Amino acid sequence: EVQLVESGGGLVQPGGSLRLSCAASGFTLSDHYMDWVRQAPGKGLEWLGRTRNKANSYTTEYAASVKGRFTISRDDSKNSVYLQMNSLKTEDTAVYYCARTAVVVGNYVFDIWGQGTMVTVSS
């Protein structure tokens, strides 16, 4: 079964750091772009960033709201993708999802999502 499972969420103080993990199973991680998306309580979806696949040298893209604070990395040998979050702010409180990007006839689309992990930034 193709599956993504996030972990690492929790309560952190403003200014603190947290690293989220996304464990992939049922597919070859190195073939895929992987993304992180978050959703603040009661709000909509916000794309955070992407790591491209091995064929595209694992390059990354970030949303302006997290660029310089968040870093996406991956370890295909461990079937995992990571989101390192530094200098956390109260407005970073959200459920964080990882999502697999599939390439379908030139369309780069989210096809599989994890269940999400909650991050609360509060003193």
Instruction: Give the C-alpha separation, 80 to 34, whole Å.
Output: 10
CB closer to other proteins out of 58 and 113: 113
Amino acid in the structure at residue 10: G
- For 41-88, give the secondary structure using H, E and C: CCCCEEEEEEECCHHHCCCEEECCCCECCEEEEEEHHHCEEEEEECCC
Closer to other proteins by Cβ: residue 44 or 55: 44
Rank residues 39 and 86 by Cβ distance to other proteins and give the closer one: 39
For residue 63, the minimal CB distance to other proteins (Å) is 5
Min. distance of Cβ 20 from other proteins in angstroms? 14
Q: How far is the CB of 73 from other proteins (least distance, A)?
A: 18
Note the residues at the interface with other proteins (CB under 8 A). 35, 37, 44-47, 50, 61-64, 97, 104-105, 107-111, 113-116
Spatial contact of 12 and 120, defined as CB atoms under 8 Å apart: yes
